[in-house]
């Protein structure tokens, strides 16, 4: 069973990953309702919204209102996403979020060219700009991420050597700015990973950089999310991004209806059943998942919210034995 962790940290991205992709207009009040529900589950971190161009992502035009509206719960970190100065300024201006910086490189140049119109070299310059921006606003930075670390729809399989090169580049960029990257996230941006790929890439990064705490950002587009998370845990990974009810979808899937991020409550379920702590209340996160489904108005991919928890069945079995 290799070295499964005793506890894993599951960071919620549903409100951001989920609502940006939904077609139907979702009212600000309902977005806030989901965040407030998630706050009660024991989650340590919730990404609540995205401060991006409202013209490009109309579903996120109410970012400020969402930030203003939700109730902060003691002990929970609330984060936001931004891609530039303007977004960061908007996030800071809410005075409601936990502002932390992260540096991101993408392993695939073709993906970069397509999505951000930058070469790998131009992207390195962009990261230097982002570091300056964070420094200007006194935002602490301790996290880096490599996107498309397992493969890319436009470039194909990603060689392990390329991922290692990106990690080194991130560390070099951090070092030249006197920053220490402590957590490194490997993102399966376009759902190319299977457990074999997780073992290969995580193994290589862990061997070369044993001091880095690794984190996985997994998409479930091809149904591998939970198996990949399990493979990650076998490799000692203890931090996972996830989305309640599997909110998210995938703009790169070949058919509509493909799943988004790995589902929070399914991951919590697996962990608890295997004796791995998460600090999250499974029944409460299932309730949040059902709420998310009600909010988007169509079935979401999460499984445990449909299949039900085993602890409920265990309680019923125990109650029946008392009769």
Question: Would you please indicate which residues are annotated as catalytic (active-site) residues?
Answer: 250
**Interaction residues for a copy of itself, span 201-230 (CB under 8 A):** 220-224, 226-227, 229-230
Nearest one of 207, 205, 227 to 218, comparing CA atoms = 227
> For residues 26 and 226, which CB has a smaller minimum distance to a copy of itself in the complex?
226
Shortest distance (Å) from residue 119 CB to a copy of itself: 17
Instruction: For residue 287, state whether it binds a copy of itself (rule: CB under 8 A).
Output: no
Shortest distance (Å) from residue 304 CB to a copy of itself: 5
- Among residues 191, 214, 218, 243, which is the contact residue for a copy of itself, using CB under 8 A? 191
Instruction: For residue 195, state whether it binds a copy of itself (rule: CB under 8 A).
Output: yes
SS3 labels along the chain: CCCCCCECEEEECHHHHHHCCCCCCCCHHHHHHHHHHHHCCCCCEEEEEEECCCCCCHHHCCHHHHHHHCCCCCCCEEEEEECCHHHHHHHHHCCCCCCCEEEEEECCHHHHHHHHCCCHHHHHHHHHHHHHHHHHCCCCEEEEEEECCCCECCCECCCHHHHHHHHHHHHHHHHHCCCCCCEEEEECCCCCCCHHHHHHHHHHHHHHCCCCEEEEECECCCCCHHHHHHHHHHCCCCEEEEEHHHCCCCCCCCCCCCCCECEHHHHHHHHHHCCCECCCCHHHHHHHHHHHHHHHCCCCCCCHHHHCCHHHHHHHHHHHHHC
Q: Give the x/- contact pattern for a copy of itself in 129-168, rule: CB under 8 A.
A: ----------------------x-xxxxx-----------
Q: Select from 15-23, 95-103, 179-187, 315-323 the region that touches a copy of itself (CB under 8 A).
A: 315-323
- Among residues 256, 319, 322, 323, which is the contact residue for a copy of itself, using CB under 8 A? 256
> For residues 292 and 305, which CB has a smaller minimum distance to a copy of itself in the complex?
305
Burial of residue 25 (CB within 10 Å: 0-12, 13-18, 19+) is: exposed
Shortest distance (Å) from residue 313 CB to a copy of itself: 5
> For residues 84 and 194, which CB has a smaller minimum distance to a copy of itself in the complex?
194
Shortest distance (Å) from residue 273 CB to a copy of itself: 4
Residues in the interface with a copy of itself (CB under 8 A) total 54
Instruction: For residue 275, state whether it binds a copy of itself (rule: CB under 8 A).
Output: yes
Instruction: For residue 304, state whether it binds a copy of itself (rule: CB under 8 A).
Output: yes
Where on the chain is the footprint of a copy of itself (CB under 8 A)?
A: 1, 151, 153-157, 191-192, 194-197, 199, 220-224, 226-227, 229-231, 250, 253-259, 263, 266, 269-270, 273-275, 299, 302-308, 310, 312-314, 317-318, 320
């Amino acid at each position: 069973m290799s070295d499964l962790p005793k506890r894993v940290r599951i960071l919620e991205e549903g409100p951001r990953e989920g609502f940006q992709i939904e077609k139907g207009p979702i009212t600000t009040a309902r977005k806030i309702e989901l965040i407030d529900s998630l706050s009660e589950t024991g989650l340590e971190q919730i990404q609540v919204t995205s401060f991006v161009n409202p013209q490009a992502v109309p579903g996120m035009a109410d970012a400020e209102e969402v930030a203003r509206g939700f109730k902060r719960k003691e002990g929970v970190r609330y984060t936001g996403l931004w891609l530039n100065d303007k977004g960061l300024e908007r996030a800071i201006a809410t005075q409601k979020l936990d502002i932390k910086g992260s540096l991101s490189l993408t392993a695939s140049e073709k993906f970069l060219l397509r999505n951000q119109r930058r070469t790998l070299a131009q992207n390195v310059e962009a990261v230097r700009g982002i570091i300056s921006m964070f420094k200007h606003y006194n935002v602490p930075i301790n996290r880096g991420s490599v996107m498309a670390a397992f493969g890319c729809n436009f470039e194909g399989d990603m060689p392990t050597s390329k991922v290692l090169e990106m990690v080194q580049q991130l560390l070099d960029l951090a070092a030249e700015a006197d920053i220490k990257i402590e957590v490194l996230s490997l993102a399966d941006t376009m759902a190319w990973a299977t457990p074999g790929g997780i073992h290969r890439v995580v193994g290589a990064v862990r061997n070369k950089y044993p001091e880095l705490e690794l984190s996985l950002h997994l998409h479930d587009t091809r149904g591998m999310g939970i198996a990949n998370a399990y493979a990650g845990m076998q490799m000692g990974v203890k931090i996972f991004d996830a989305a309640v009810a599997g909110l998210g979808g995938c703009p790169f899937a070949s058919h509509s209806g493909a799943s988004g991020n790995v589902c929070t409550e399914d991951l919590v379920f697996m962990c608890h059943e295997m004796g791995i702590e998460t600090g999250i209340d499974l029944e409460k996160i299932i309730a949040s998942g059902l709420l998310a489904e009600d909010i988007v108005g169509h079935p979401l991919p999460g499984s445990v919210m449909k299949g039900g928890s085993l602890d409920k069945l265990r309680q019923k079995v125990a109650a029946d034995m008392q009769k």
